[in-house]
Amino acid sequence: MTTTPEVVAAPARRHLTTRGRRWRPDRAGAPIVLALVLIGGTLVFGDSFASAQNFGNIALDSSYLLLIATGMTLVILSGGIDLSVGSLLALAGVLTAYGARWGSIAAVVLPLLVCAAFGLANGLLIARARIAPFIVTLAALLFARGLAFAVADEGNTVYIIPADLTLTRLGQARWLGLHAPVWLALLAFAVGVVILNRTRFGQAVFAVGDNQEAAELMGLPVARVRLLVYVASAVLAGVAGVLVAAQTQSGLPTIGEGRELEAIAAVVIGGTLLSGGAGSLSGTLAGVLLLKVIQNLINQVGTLTAYYQQVVSGTFLIVVVLIQSRLARRRLR
Amino acid sequence: MLDTLRRRRDRADVLRFLQVGGVYVATALILAFNLFFTPNFATLANLRLQLVQVAPVAIVAIGMALVIATEGIDLSVGSTMAISAALLPLYIGYGVWPAIAVALVAGVAVGAVNGSLVAFAGMQPIIATLGVLVAGRGLALVFANGRLTELFDPTLDALGNESVLGVPISVLLVVTVAAIAGVVVRRAAFGRQLVAVGGNRAAANLAGLPVKRTLVAVYVVSGVLAAAAGVLSTARQGASDPSFVGLLIELSAITAVVVGGTPLSGGRVRILGTLTGALLMQLITATVIQQNLPDSTARMIQAAIIVAAVYVQRGRSRA
Amino acid sequence: MTTPAIDVRSVSKHFAGVRALDSVSLELNPGEVHALVGENGAGKSTLIKLITGVYRPDAGEVRYLGEPVAFGGPRDAQAAGISTIYQEVNLVPLRSVASNLFLGREPKNRLGLIDYRRMHRAARETLSRYGISVDVRRRLGELGLGVQQMIAVARALSTEARVVIMDEPTSSLEPREVDLLAGVVDMLRRQRVAVLYVTHKLDEVFRFCERVTVLRDGRRAHTGAVAGTTRLRLVATMLGRDIDDVREHGATTFTDEHRSVAGEPMLRAVGLSRRPQLDDVTVEVHAGEVVGLAGLLGSGRTETAKAMFGADPVDSGSVSVGGRTRRRWSPAVAIRNGVGMIPEDRKAEGVIADLSVRDNIVLAALPRLTTAGFLSERRQSDLVDTFVRRLRIKVANTDQKVRELSGGNQQKVLLARMLCLHPKVLILDEPTRGVDVGAKSEIQSLIDELAEQGLGVLLISSELEEVVEGADRVLVLRDGAVVGTLRGDDVSEERIMRAIAVASDEAAADPSTTDAPAPEDADA
C-alpha cells in the first residue's frame, strides 16, 4: 500500500452534473411571483390596493394563516400532514371565550393546553402507533370540531369576551401600525426559522422527511421528532384561535373550515415538497402572502366576482405546483 | 416458545377478523342498540329514510374507494356535486334527461382534469384534487350566481322521492352502482389494473399495465359518481343549492371507505365494506339525533371509530 | 487471552417457520478483520441484525466486550460503539454532505445554535482524511454512489466505535476507492477496532481479512484463518459441494458451453444516451444467446436494461426488436413485441406484495386473458397452474399473498409473469439476488434451458461467477459507457475487473475529467 490516492469527487462522469449554484429556482418561485403580483396590483388598482390600510388588512389576514402554516411546514417537512388545524383553531377560539370568565390567563392557557393535548394525541398515534397521518389528523379534525360545538352548546351559545380584559386589549392592540396578531405571527415565524435551521431538532425534521429509515439508522430520535412537530402544529393553531377570539371578542365553533387546506396550499406554493425533506419557512411566508394578496386583489375587482376568487385560487394552486414540480424534477435529475 | 407462537397466531386471527369484518360487527351492534332503545326504529318508514339519506354519500364513497385503491384520493367530490347541481337548472329547459346528461358529463370533465393532473403531470392527488375542490366550488357558484334555485320537475322529483316496489329509487341506484363496481373490481381487467396500480405503481408499469390510462379512468369514475350524487341530492331537495350541496362530503366518503376496510395505501377495494361504512356513519348520526344527544357527539364518535378502524388495519401491513 | 469484542454464542433465529440461523457462533477480536461469507439467504444479514439489535435471538446470546447485551435497535448499538456500514447508502440525499456527516451531532456555538462554519470546516477536514475533496455544501444525492458510500464510511467511523460492521462495502466502489477503503481498514486495525467484513467478493477476503467464517443455510459451515484456506475451498464450502466438483463444473449451475449465434439480433439497442447515466450504449441480443452486462453498482447496467425495455426515456438512441425499430417505446409496447424484463428490485418494482400469487403471475398477460374487458377465470387458472408447476413455485395455494413467499419463490413468480407471455427476449436484472441456494440453481438452470430453446437473454448480475459462467458474451460497463466486450473463452473475472480498472485509470489520466493530478499506479 503506497500513498493513498486522492479521490476527487469532480470527475464529470461519476456525478450528476449540477451547476452547483446555491440559488434554487423552484424555491425562488413564490417570492418572485409575489413581487410581480404586488407590482401588477399597484399598477392596476393604485391607491385602493397599495395603501397602508389595505396592506395592513392583508397583513392581519395573513397572520392567522402564517401561524398555522408555520406549524404545517414543520409537519410536512417531516413527511407528515396535519388536517386538524382548522378545527383546532375553532376549538381554541371557543375555549378562549369560554375561559374568559376566569380571566385572561385562563383564557389563554386553557385552549393552548387542550390543543397541545390534541397535538400529543396526533403525534402518538402517528409516531408510535404508526397510523397514517392523513387519517389520524382527519379524525382529530372531526373530534375537535365536535368538541368545539359541544362546548358551545351546539352553536347555541356564543361566549363573549369582555372588552376590558387584558387579553382583549392586547389582542386588539396595534404597535407601529401593525396589529398584534401580525407581530405574534412574525415572532412565531422567526422562532420557527431559528429552530428549523439552527438547531439539531430542525435538522432532524428535514432528515426524517427525507429518508425516515436512514434517519433511524443514523441514530436520530425519529419518533420524538415526528411527535413534536404535531404538538407544535396544534399549539400554533391554538395561538391563532386565541387571537381570532381576541379580535372578534367571541368564540364561534364554525370558523376555520378549510384553513388546513389553505395552509397546505401556502406551504406547497412556498416550495416545500409535499413528500417532505426539502423546503423552507421563508417560502411558506411568501406562499401565505401570495395567497392573501391574490384574494385581496380579486376583492378589489368587485363583489360579483367573489366566486371567481375561488376559481382563481384553485387554479393558481394547481399551476404553481405544476411549475414547481417541473423545476424540481429537472434539478434532481 | 410454541406457546407464544400460538398466542401470536390467535391474536393475528382476531386482528384479521376485525380488519375485514369489523365494520359489519359495528353496524350490527348499532342496529341492535337501536332496535332495543330507539322507539319507531324498526319501522319501514324509518329504514327507508335512513337508506335514502345515505344514498348520495354511498355513491360518492364507491367512487372514492376506487380512487383510494390506486393509492390516491379525491377531495373534489363535493365540488363536483355542486357543479352538477348548479348545471341542472340551467339545462332543464331542454328536458330533464338532457340536463342530467350534462351534469354527468361535467362529472366526467372534472374527473378528467383530476386524472390528468395525477397521471400526466405527476401531481400528488391530494394537491391536485384540492385545487379542483377550491376552483370547482367557485365555478359552481359562478354558474348559479350563488343562488339556490328551486326545480319543479316530476321526473326529477320521482328520482329523489319515489319508490319502485317499495324500494326508493335512490336506493336502487346505489345498489346498481355497487353491483357494477363489485363486478368490475372482481372480474374485469380494469379492476385488476386499478388494484395493481395502487399496490405497486412501478411494478404495474413494468408489467406493461396502462397506468396513466387507468388513473385517469378512475378519477373520471369518481367524478361521474359524484355528479350523479349531486343530481340525486338536488332531486330529493327539489332545489339546486350549490353553496351547500356536497359540503364536506369528501370527509364522509373517505371515512366510509377507510372504516369499510379499504386501506389508504392502496392495493385492495372493499365495495360492500364501503357501503356498510357509509351506513354505519349514517346510523351513528341518526342514533345520536334520536337519542337526543348533541350533534357534536356524533362527530366525536365517528372520529373514534375511524381511529379504531385504521388501528386495527395497520396490523395487516406490518405482518 | 483477550476478550472478544463480539462473542456470538449459539444463536438461533426463526421467521414464520423458516430457520434463518441455527446455533451459530462467531468470535470477533479487537484489531481483527473477520470476513463473513455465504450465499444469499445463508443468514449473513440476519446475523448482523441480531448483533445490532434489530432482532432478538430466539436462542443463544450475544456478548459485547464480555457482557451479554440486548440492544433495543441500531441506535442503541451505535451509542454503545458498534457502527454499521450498509450496502445501501443509508444517508439523507436531500441534505448537504456536511449535514449528513454531522446529523445528530452538529457542532454548536456559544448560543447553542448550529455553527455552520465550523461544521463545514470539520467536514472538509474529515473527508480529506479519506482523500475526498468535494463541496460539502452540495446535496449528497447529487454525488456519485461511490463517493456517497465513502461518506457513509466516514460518518460511521466518526464515532468512537469499537466494532465496525461492513456489509458489502465495495459494491459501488471503483478500484481506486477500494484502495482507499483498504487504508481505512488498516487504520481501524491499528486502532484495535474489530471489523466484521461481510462480502461475497472472495478476493477481498484474501486481501483484507485475517479470519473467515462461512455461513450456509443458516449454519456455520467453517471458521478459521484466511491463510489456511483457498478460494476454491471457500466456494465449495459456501455451496456445500465437493472441491473437485466445483473446480470442474464451476460455482454455478450454468453449463459452461459457449454458444455463438449469428444472424439478426432479436433485440438491439443503439447509441442509448441519457446524461449522465448512459453514454452511447449499444447492446445486441441474439436468439439463443446469453449476453451479460458486468460492471460496478452505479455503472449503468440497470439503466441500460430499463432503457431497452422502455421503462425509462432516453435522450437519444433507438431500440429495435426483430429488426423493426419502434417509435414509441414503453414497457407495454416492449411486452407486446416479445420482450420481458425482471427488474433489479423486486420489492419496489417487481411483485405486488398484497396481491395473490395468481394475480401477480397473470398481471402482464391480462390483455390476452380478457374478452370484452372481462377475465376468464378458467384461462387464468390454467396459465397459473402450468407455470407454478413448471417453475416449481412452492405455494400452499395460488391465492396466497406474494409477500408470504420466500425470495426465491417471489423471483420465480416474476419469471412466470414474463414467461407466460412467451417472450423472445428476456432481460434479467439480478435474477438470483436474495434467493436461497436451491432456488438459485433452479433459476440458473432455467436460464440455460430457455436460451437453449431459442430465447435471447440479457443477464445482469453483481456476482461475477454468474456472468462469467452464464454468459456467452459479456459487455463491461463503467460510468454508463461500454468499455469492453469479451467473448467465449476470454470471459473471465480477471478480464472483467481489468476492463473496469483500465477504464478508470484512463479516466484519471485524462485531464478533462479530474481536477487532481493522476495518482501513482495504485493497482500494484
In this complex, the chains that touch B, judged by 3 or more CB pairs closer than 8 A, are A, C
CA distance B129 to B117: 9
Residue of A8, A199, A208 to mutate, testing the C interface (most C Cβ within 10 Å of its Cβ):
A8
Could you say which of A134, A143, A314 has the minimum Cβ distance to residue B138? A314
Residue carrying C-alpha cell 402554516: A69
Model confidence pLDDT, tens digit, residues C314-366: 888 888 887 778 777 889 999 999 999 999 888 889 999 889 999 999 999 98
CB contact under 8 A, C515 and A3: no
Residue of A157, A275, A318, A330 to mutate, testing the B interface (most B Cβ within 10 Å of its Cβ):
A318
Q: Which three cell numbers stand for residue B34?
A: 337501536
Which phi and psi (to 5°) does residue C323 adopt? 90, -15
pLDDT of residue B3: 64
What's the whole-number mean pLDDT along residues A286-310?
80
In this complex, the chains that touch A, judged by 3 or more CB pairs closer than 8 A, are B, C
Contacts of B251 in chain A (CB under 8 A): 138, 141-142
CB contact under 8 A, C363 and B204: yes
Instruction: Give CA torsion, residues C285, C289, C294, C298, to 10 deg.
Output: 40
Contacts of C135 in chain A (CB under 8 A): 20
pLDDT of residue C469: 86
pLDDT of residue A16: 30
CB contact under 8 A, A274 and B126: yes
Q: Please, what is the average pLDDT of chain B?
A: 88
Among residues of chain B, what percentage have pLDDT more than 70? Answer: 93
Contact status of C136 with chain A (Cβ, < 8 Å): no
Contacts of B199 in chain C (CB under 8 A): 352-355
Q: Is the pLDDT reported for residue A102 higher than 70? A: yes
Confidence of residue C99 (pLDDT cuts 50, 70, 90): very high
Q: Is the pLDDT reported for residue C300 higher than 70? A: yes
Q: Is the pLDDT reported for residue B315 higher than 80? A: no
What's the whole-number mean pLDDT along residues A110-121?
97
Lowest mean pLDDT across B191-205, C251-265, C445-459: C251-265
CB contact under 8 A, B127 and A264: yes
What's the whole-number mean pLDDT along residues C284-306?
88
The Cα angle at residue B28 between residues B22 and B34, in degrees rounded to 5: 140
Neighbours of B209 (CB within 10 A): 25
Lowest mean pLDDT across A192-201, A300-309, C113-122: A300-309
CA distance C278 to A118: 51
Residue A47 CB contacts under 8 Å (≥ 6 apart), including other chains? none
CATH number at C6-94+139-249: 3.40.50.300
CB contact under 8 A, B203 and C373: no
What's the whole-number mean pLDDT along residues C279-296?
89
CATH number at A52-328: 1.10.3470
pLDDT of residue B1: 54
pLDDT of residue A330: 64
Which phi and psi (to 5°) does residue C456 adopt? -90, 140
Q: Is the pLDDT reported for residue A18 higher than 50? A: no
What's the whole-number mean pLDDT along residues C159-179?
84
pLDDT of residue A5: 38
Contacts of A275 in chain B (CB under 8 A): 124
CA distance A233 to A236: 5
Among residues of chain C, what percentage have pLDDT more than 70? Answer: 94
Amino acid symbol at C187: M
- How many Cα atoms within 13 Å fall on the side-chain side of residue A94? 28
Q: What is the model's pTM?
A: 0.85
Q: Which of residues 37-76 of C touch A (CB under 8 A)?
A: 73-75
> Exposure string (b/e) for C331-351, b if CB count within 10 Å is 16 or more?
bbbbbebbbbbbbbebeebbb
Contact status of C137 with chain A (Cβ, < 8 Å): yes
- Measured between CA atoms, the residue of chain A closest to residue C90 is A214
Query: Where are any strands of DSSP class E within chain B?
Result: 149-150, 163-164, 167-168, 239-240
Strands A7-8 and C132-133: parallel
Position B275 in a domain: no
Q: Please, what is the average pLDDT of chain C?
A: 85
For chain B, the domain total comes to 1
CATH number at C257-338+423-524: 3.40.50.300
Q: Is the pLDDT reported for residue C298 higher than 80? A: no
Position B264 in a domain: no
Model confidence pLDDT, tens digit, residues C370-401: 888 788 888 889 999 999 998 888 888 888 88
Would you give the end-to-end CA distance of chain C in angstroms?
A: 36
Residue ranges of domains in chain C: 6-94+139-249, 257-338+423-524, 350-421
Contact status of A325 with chain B (Cβ, < 8 Å): yes
- How many Cα atoms within 13 Å fall on the side-chain side of residue C102? 28
pLDDT of residue B302: 85
Contact status of A309 with chain B (Cβ, < 8 Å): yes
Q: Indicate left, alpha or beta for B233 from its phi (over 0: left) and psi (-120 to 50: alpha).
A: alpha
SS3 C224: strand
Contact status of C401 with chain B (Cβ, < 8 Å): no
Model confidence pLDDT, tens digit, residues A34-50: 888 888 888 888 877 88
CA distance C471 to C487: 9
What's the whole-number mean pLDDT along residues A114-140?
94
**DSSP summary character for residue B193:** H
Could you say which of A264, A312, A322 has the minimum Cβ distance to residue B121? A322
Neighbours of A224 (CB within 10 A): 14
Q: Please, what is the average pLDDT of chain A?
A: 85
CB contact under 8 A, C373 and B190: yes
CA distance C308 to B170: 52
Domain that holds residue B218: 49-247
The residue that leads in pLDDT, B257 or C498, is B257
Could you say which of C331, C352, C355 has the minimum Cβ distance to residue B208? C331
Contact status of A142 with chain B (Cβ, < 8 Å): yes
CA distance to partner chain A, nearest, from residue B162 (Å): 33
Contact status of C336 with chain B (Cβ, < 8 Å): yes
Q: Give the residue from B30, B75, B80 showing the smallest Cα distance to B50.
A: B30
Position B134 in a domain: yes
